[in-house]
Amino acid sequence: MVSLDKIAHLAAECRFDSSGPAQGAALMGIDGAGVDAEKLRSLGEGTRHDVCASTYSPREKPLPGICHAFTQDGRCVSLFKTLYTNHCTHQCSYCINAIGCSRKTKAFSYTPEELARITHSLYRSNYIEGLFLSSGAGRDEDRITEKMIETARLLREKFAFKGYIHLKVLPGSSQAHIQEAALLADRLSINLEAASSTHMNEICSTKDYDNDILQRQRYIQQILKEGGRSPSVLPAGQTTQLIVGAAGESDEEIFQRVIHEYREIGVKRAYYSAFSPQPGTPLEKKAAQPLWREHRLYQMDWLYRIYRFRTEEISHAFNEDGFLSNADPKMAIAREFLDRPVDPNTATLPELLRVPGIGPKSARRIMAIRKSRPIGSKADLSAMGIAVKRAAPFLKINGWRDTTLEMWQP
Ligand code: SF4
C-alpha cells in the first residue's frame, strides 16, 4: 500500500512525473509551487470513514491514501482516495469536517486541475488504477459538485484517463449534476449513513434523509434504468454506505434498510463503517462500536446477496433486540432452519449453501465431483477445501452422520 506520507513525499519532490523536478512542479502544483503535502494528507485522511473495500478488514487505524476496491468483474484495484475539500456546512455530529466540530482542522480544497494532475501522475506511475473522490459540501453542494465533475472531465478529456472513477454524490446535489457525473464516472454513490430519517435526525440536523439522500439515489437509479444496462453507463453501478451504531440503531434496522436498497434502489453494494468517536465532535464521548459488528453485518450481507438466503432466514440471526452476536450468523441460521442433516451426494445447491463451512465455490465443486463419483467421507470433503469441522455436524454422508447437535440426537 502507498501511504499518504509517501504520496505527500512524492508530491513534495515532484516525483510523480518523469518530466523532471522543474517541469514536474509546474505539472503538479498551482503556479508551479508544487503540491502542499499538508493538504494532500488532510484531504486524504478526511476520507477515513468512506469505505471502498468490499469486505470488512481488521484495522488498528484507518489507512487513508490509497485504498483497494473491487470492480464489477471482481478485479482488485488501487484507488487514490481523497476529499475534494474538507470544508463543510453540514452538522453531522460524528464528523470532524462538520461545522459544529470544535477541533476543526484547517480547511483545504483542491482545484480541479490540480487534483486531476495528481491523479493522472499517480496513474501514469502505476501507483493507482483509479480515483475515489468524496468531499465536504463546502458552502454550496452544487458548486463543489461542479468542481468534482470538472476534475473527472479533465481526467477523461484532457489526460485521456482510462482508469476507474468513483464519485460520491453530495447530499442534495441537483439531478442535472448527477446526470453529468454519470457520464464520466464508473460508479456513483451517496452515503445513507443512517438506517432511517429518524436515525438521521439523531446525528445530523441539516440533511433531509428522504429528499437529500433517497431522492438522489432514485435519480441515479433512473439513469441506470435509462442506460438500459449499457456497459458505458455507470458500469460499476451505484453503492451506498452506513455508519454502524452512531444513531443507536439496531443491526436489524440497518439490515432492513440495506435489503430495501438492494431490492428497491438496485444498489450494487452496501458498505458498513463501525462508528468511532472523533475528538471535538458532539459524539466524541460516545463509545466506539466494535469492529466485529461491522464484520458480522458484512457476513449477513454476503448471506443475502451471494448465498441468497431468504429474509425470514436472515431475521433469525438477530436477537430479540435486533442485534447480532459476535458469532457466525450462518451457524445460527443453520441451527434454526436445517431440520435434518444434509447429504452432499443428493443435496441441491441452495441446501449445500446453507451448511456452515460450505461456500458457493465448494458447493459447486461438490456438485461437479459427485457427477463422476460419490462423496464417501469427511476426508473427501476436506480435500475439496471445505471447513469440515464446521460443516460435519450438519452433514450425513452415505448414511453416516457425525452430528453432535442436540436437535438431531436420536
Ligand atoms: S456532509 Fe456531513 S459527513 Fe460529509 S463532510 Fe459534511 S459534515 Fe462531514
Kindly give the distance from the C-alpha atom of residue 138 to the centroid of ligand 1, in angstroms, as a whole number.
9
Kindly give the distance from the C-alpha atom of residue 38 to the centroid of ligand 1, in angstroms, as a whole number.
20
Assess contact for 387 and 363: CB atoms under 8 A.
Answer: no
Pocket test of ligand 1: the residue of 50, 94, 95 to mutate, having most ligand atoms within 8 Å of its CB, is: 95
At 131, which helix (H) or strand (E)? strand 130-134
Q: Which atom belonging to ligand 1 lies closest to the Cα atom of 88? A: 6
Q: How far is CA 378 from CA 338, 341, 346, 372, 397, in A?
A: 19, 14, 16, 18, 8
Q: Per-residue pLDDT tens for 360-381?
A: 999 999 999 999 999 988 888 9
The stretch 75-82 carries a mean pLDDT of 88
Kindly give the distance from the C-alpha atom of residue 207 to the centroid of ligand 1, in angstroms, as a whole number.
10
Predicted confidence band at 66 (pLDDT cuts at 50, 70, 90)?
A: confident
Q: Per-residue pLDDT tens for 277-322?
A: 999 999 999 999 999 999 999 999 999 999 999 999 999 999 999 9
Q: Per-residue pLDDT tens for 141-200?
A: 999 999 999 999 999 999 999 999 999 999 999 999 999 999 999 999 999 999 999 999
pLDDT of residue 15: 46
CB 191 less than 6 A from any atom of ligand 1:
no
Residue 399's contacts (CB-CB under 8 Å, 6 or more residues apart) are: none
Extended strands (E) in 262-402: 269-274, 396-397, 400-401
CB 90 less than 6 A from any atom of ligand 1:
yes
Q: Which atom belonging to ligand 1 lies closest to the Cα atom of 95? A: 8
Q: Per-residue pLDDT tens for 390-402?
A: 998 899 887 766 6
**Distance (Å, rounded) from C-alpha 277 to C-alpha 94?**
7
Q: What are the grid coordinates assigned to 248, written together? A: 443507536
Q: What is the pTM of this model?
A: 0.86
Q: How far is CA 33 from CA 94, 123, 383, in A?
A: 35, 21, 60
Residue with cell 433531509: 208
Predicted confidence band at 60 (pLDDT cuts at 50, 70, 90)?
A: very low
Residue with cell 491523479: 119
pLDDT of residue 103: 78
Kindly give the distance from the C-alpha atom of residue 375 to the centroid of ligand 1, in angstroms, as a whole number.
55
Q: Is the pLDDT of residue 26 over 90?
A: no
pLDDT of residue 61: 45
CB 77 less than 6 A from any atom of ligand 1:
no
Report CA torsion sign: 39, 184, 182, 144. Answer: positive
**Distance (Å, rounded) from C-alpha 360 to C-alpha 356?**
11
The full length of the chain comes to 410
Q: What are the grid coordinates assigned to 257, written together? A: 434498510
Predicted confidence band at 343 (pLDDT cuts at 50, 70, 90)?
A: very high
pLDDT of residue 135: 96
**Distance (Å, rounded) from C-alpha 196 to C-alpha 371?**
48
Q: Which atom belonging to ligand 1 lies closest to the Cα atom of 171? A: 1
CB 97 less than 6 A from any atom of ligand 1:
yes
Select the more confidently predicted residue: 333 or 101: 333
Q: Per-residue pLDDT tens for 232-242?
A: 799 999 999 99
Pocket test of ligand 1: the residue of 51, 83, 84, 92 to mutate, having most ligand atoms within 8 Å of its CB, is: 92
Beta bridge partners of 272: 242
| Domains of the chain listed by start with CATH number | 4-286 (3.20.20.70), 338-408 (no CATH)
Assess contact for 317 and 342: CB atoms under 8 A.
Answer: no
Q: What are the grid coordinates assigned to 340, written together? A: 435434518
Q: Tell me the average pLDDT of the chain.
A: 86
pLDDT of residue 303: 97
**Distance (Å, rounded) from C-alpha 241 to C-alpha 49?**
10
CB 274 less than 6 A from any atom of ligand 1:
no
DSSP code per residue over 339-350: -S-B-TTT--HH
Predicted confidence band at 404 (pLDDT cuts at 50, 70, 90)?
A: low
Kindly give the distance from the C-alpha atom of residue 88 to the centroid of ligand 1, in angstroms, as a whole number.
6
CB 136 less than 6 A from any atom of ligand 1:
yes
